[in-house]
Amino acid sequence: MKSRYRNSLVYDRSPHWNSFKRINFAIPASLFLLSLTGILMLYSVSGGEIGVLVKNHLVRVCIGLLVFLAFAFTSIRIIRYISPALYLIILLCLVWLFFFETNTVSRWINLGFSSFQPAEVLKFILILTLASYYSFLGERRSKGLFSVTLPLVLIILPAFLTVRQPDLGTALLLLLTGISIIFFSGLRFKWIAIVALSFGASIPIIFDNLKEYQKERLMVFLNPETDPFGAGYHIIQSKIAIGSGGFTGKGFMMGTQSQLNFLPEKHSDFMLSVLLEEMGFLGGLFVFFIFLYLILISIHTSLTSRSRFNCLACAGIAVLTFLYFFINSAMIMGIIPIVGVPLPMLSYGGSAIIAFCAAMGFVVNARINRDIKLESFLGN
């Protein structure tokens, strides 16, 4: 009896076992449900065949799971230290695409066995980098204008390179997510107003750097019927798909817009339109509540973390998750222009899946270590 008691104490004191016991399994379960829904929808748009789309998506989900585990169990202190280096590596990838990629659309780096979209991964890495910067800077020194100079450079430089790819949706997410971290850092309101005005003043510059088809999308979204077979075609077909789905949907693999190829980009940016046509409002509500849970759990982790790094990073992840869902859903309903933002785990795209799994893995890690104050450990 005494031996069993001693063994149990040794077992309970294992840091890996304690970490495992404190995992919020609802987070990986949510990712599993989203990825399963995405696989089913890809199976539907593939005409009921387990083709390239389904197989590739399944492989990327498995890779995303490994990345999720890596970020869930790697020391927070290590993640805090290496995030600026990761940012620099990905930024160099964007610079490479800007200067050396000759294709019209230069968003991906060909790795031979697969392709890699640096800007998609940078959304998450930017959050970690800014959180790391402000945690080292300290709360008191984060209130002045000087504290925002470097973060603005870290945000604007990749956003500019991303717009030039061209990828307006990713650039928009980088800007909004980065500015939210500046806001959460405790910057005084007057400096926040200056940053907001600077961002507003840069909109004409951003617009001038857009491709012609992007400008057409921005202008036509107010009245897609002016060009029903051109720039307005995507929005019109998406609205038809969503409206025809009704409350319960037409049924799995029974959607006319998706099955008859009226809906463009149905495997990526408009995957939610396919789901709403086939599964209806109820299917959309299912996806909505999963994303809502991931947003709320990220906010709760941010509010309950003692570490400034964890607090800012989880707040940024909550904003990023919200923007993913809001922009994609508003885009397919014609509320905002089409900017090419996928829905992670649902849409086809490996870089978005891996980055989102990494972000959720970090949230799990931050929840496990929310009682640890990194700044006091490092003398900050």
Query: pLDDT band at 127, cuts 50/70/90?
Result: very high
**pLDDT over 50 at 193, yes or no:** yes
- What is the predicted pLDDT for the residue at 138? 72
Q: pLDDT value at position 9?
A: 38
Return the pLDDT at 48.
75
pLDDT at 378: 44
pLDDT (average), residues 5-29: 59
Structure-token pair, residue 257: 């817009």
Instruction: Name the pLDDT band for 207 (thresholds 50, 70, 90).
Output: low
Of residues 83 and 13, more confidently modeled: 83
Angstrom distance (rounded) from CA 335 to CA 42 = 25
pLDDT of residue 21: 59
Does residue 349 register a pLDDT over 50? yes
114: left (phi over 0), alpha (psi -120 to 50) or beta: beta
* pLDDT at residue 13, as a whole number: 43
Whether 352 has a pLDDT exceeding 70, the answer reads yes
Model pLDDT, residue 303: 92
* Measured distance CA(201)–CA(193) in Å, rounded: 12
Q: What is the mean pLDDT of the chain?
A: 81
Highest mean pLDDT among 4-8, 99-103, 135-139: 135-139
On whether the pTM is more than 0.95, the answer is no
Query: What average pLDDT does range 17-26 have in this prediction?
Result: 68
Q: What is the mean pLDDT of residues 289-314?
A: 93
> What is the pLDDT, as a whole number, of residue 54?
87
The predicted pLDDT at position 14 comes to 47
The pLDDT, as a whole number, for residue 135 is 87
Residue 2 clears pLDDT 90, i.e. is over it: no
Is pLDDT above 70 for 117?
yes
Residue 8 has pLDDT above 50, yes or no: no
pLDDT at 70 over 50: yes
d(CA 142, CA 187): 6
Residue 114 host element (H or E): none
Q: How far is CA 124 from CA 149, 169, 319, in A?
A: 20, 15, 11
Question: Phi-psi category of 112—alpha, beta or left, where left has phi over 0 and alpha has psi -120 to 50?
Answer: left
Q: What are 1's two structure tokens? A: 């009896």
| Residue 51 per-residue DSSP state | -
Check whether 136 has a pLDDT greater than 80: yes
Calpha distance 171→329 (Å, rounded): 18
Q: Of 180, 184, 154, nearest to 320 (Cα)?
A: 180
What is residue 103's predicted lDDT score, i.e. its pLDDT?
A: 55
- How do residues 223-270 score in pLDDT, each as one tens digit? 666 666 666 777 888 888 888 888 888 888 888 887 777 777 777 788
Which is higher by pLDDT, 196 or 327? 327
Q: Which residues contact 146 (CB under 8 A, 6 or more apart)?
A: none
